[in-house]
Structure 1
Amino acid sequence: MTDMRQQLGYQWACDFLNQQDHQISSYQITPVAGDASFRRYFRLHAHSKTWILMDAPPEHESIHTFIEIAQSWRTMGLAVPEIYGINQQAGYLLLEDFGDHLLLTCLQQDPQQASQWYPQAIDQLILLQTADISTKTLPSYNSALMLREMQLFSDWLCIQGLQLDKNEVETQCRPLMQTLAHTLPKLPCGPVHRDYHSRNLLIKPDQSLGIIDFQDAVHGPLCYDLMSILRDCYIHWPFAQQKAWAQHYFVQAQKSNLLPEDTDFNTFWKQALRMSVQRHLKASGIFARLYLRDHKTGYLADIPTTLNYIQEAATHLPDAELQQFSLWMQTQVYPRLADFIAQGQN
């Protein structure tokens, strides 16, 4: 069953391809797994060729930034999809097809493959961070934005999801969130993908990694994307392994002049762990919102892993605000979490 936007997008893509001398009478169209947004993706098939149709309704999504970033990053040698066709007014793009082989799927099937893919993911990240893309193109990942993101945890998971008292939640969350929002934007900054993890990295047929879902990129702390991939909401690695991969990144980043020369690894690692707390507060709130507002239950099962990263960071950081917040999580958030998740999965 198709809807009107799918039909219009399909017709536009077919007309565009036939104008490019792909004289094919009809194309097969199939849905592709989407992301946590209003965007949808479809695969067009014809003979041995495939393309990806992105449907981004203009009232909800803008494709302008996606286009600008994709063109800039491809020029830098980053493996992002080539854009074949643009219908900006209607919100459609025709993209290169990287296939369906998610890095996450590969790692779930064979965790030993991580030793092959994580160094490559880090090397791609270094290349992304050295990209010469204007700060005018990328919004600033400033204190206000970081704070709004963390408040998703308070508003959607704690208050609306777990039904915790609003005043208590705000009292417990405010010290940590304000400290993170004040300090993190001062870290070394550059281009940030903002969702650099195993579901947005595809293993291409040539065994290289392709990068997708980068339209929400910002200019912000460099360690954000590193924490996204090493402390991935969808798959967990031992803390010692996370740290070893972070050391690989640290060496490459210093060689590329991304970090100040006088930065030592232990200081960098603690800063990165604090950055991960911000991300995981945001992510857990988004997962709750996807269920409560958008009726998408598929991310509920990822909330415990996401929150556990915050607890893990608390065992390695001396920060008083984080210690107090961690204790509150243990006594108030975790006891209600299982019932909330079960409610959505039943």
Structure 2
Amino acid sequence: MNMNDFKERKKKILQVVIRHYVRTARPAASGMIVRDYDFPFSSATVRNVLAELEEEGYLTHPYTSAGRIPTDKGYRFYVDRLMEAQKLTQEEERHIAREYRAKRRGLEEVMRQTSKMLSLISHQAGFILTPTLDRNFLKHIELVALGGKRILAVLVIQAGLIRHKTIQLNYDLKRSQLYRISKILNEKLSGLPLSQMREEMNRIIEQESNKYLGLLQTAKGLIGQAFTSEESEIYLEGSANILASVKEDLYDYAGVGSVFRAIEEKRIILDIVRRLVQSEGVKVLIGKENLYPELKDFSVVSSTYKSGNRVVGALGIIGPKRMEYPKMVALVDFVAKVVNNILNSEGG
């Protein structure tokens, strides 16, 4: 239907049907709309509008005698044209800020806390796609002897975020050697993108005298073992929330098994989120827009987050199409801004 022909009456009735269904998980009938929502139209008029909206693909009915429920097209029109912007309450914003302040700033902890926060507040499944290491800038490297030819390599990147890895060597390194290697690495590599570290080490080795060549070769080997380029991974929290939500919704319940399998495998979710990283801002994918049949009864609300001026990851929630879109968009947008601030804050 042409947008110019979509009369205000149809918009209002579509909005009521969606809000009613989101709130109650029950179809909306004409008599209920007139009675409960104080519409200045007769039940027959509303019934005719509902029939038109169904014919145009915005509504459907689960069985013959039922009222109407939204289709993917109806939800899409609502999100794009009818949804009123919403903000989190001040208490919700303060709670989120407190939770982040209370936790350590290790990268894994920030990722874990983000997925947990999104899940707890949305009552859906929360996720965050981690940035790959090579998209970040080095602040500091520390090498610590653990004994038994093992070394703990600690990498501090932007905003004090930390990655660490235990390395098993086939030779011993003295503490004095580790100190000198750490000193060289910090002097030569601090402030560089991690993706350039190996190339820079090769250049340094070519220019240095034989006096330090052995140490530099060792340092290059440690860099290679400790901080290889990694694929992004996804943190997911609260998949059980989806079951709790769908139990209320008899018409989408059949899809819960497939989405559980998709979440457990993570492959499908990871593929969808990687696509979302390709463009900035908050995005809403509804039902079949997710491309995978396993998610045809579910929606994804996501936002990208940045390190510096570069988009490095995405976060969001997954839940039934029957969700409070204004609240979910506000939540995802706010948490993305908090993660941006953490990744880009001065001095961690």
TM-score strictly above 0.5: no
Determine which structure has more spread, i.e. the larger CA radius of gyration. Answer: 2
Greater length-normalized contact order (CA 8 Å, ≥ 6 residues apart): 2
Higher normalized strand content (fraction of residues): 2
TM normalised by structure 2 equals 0.21
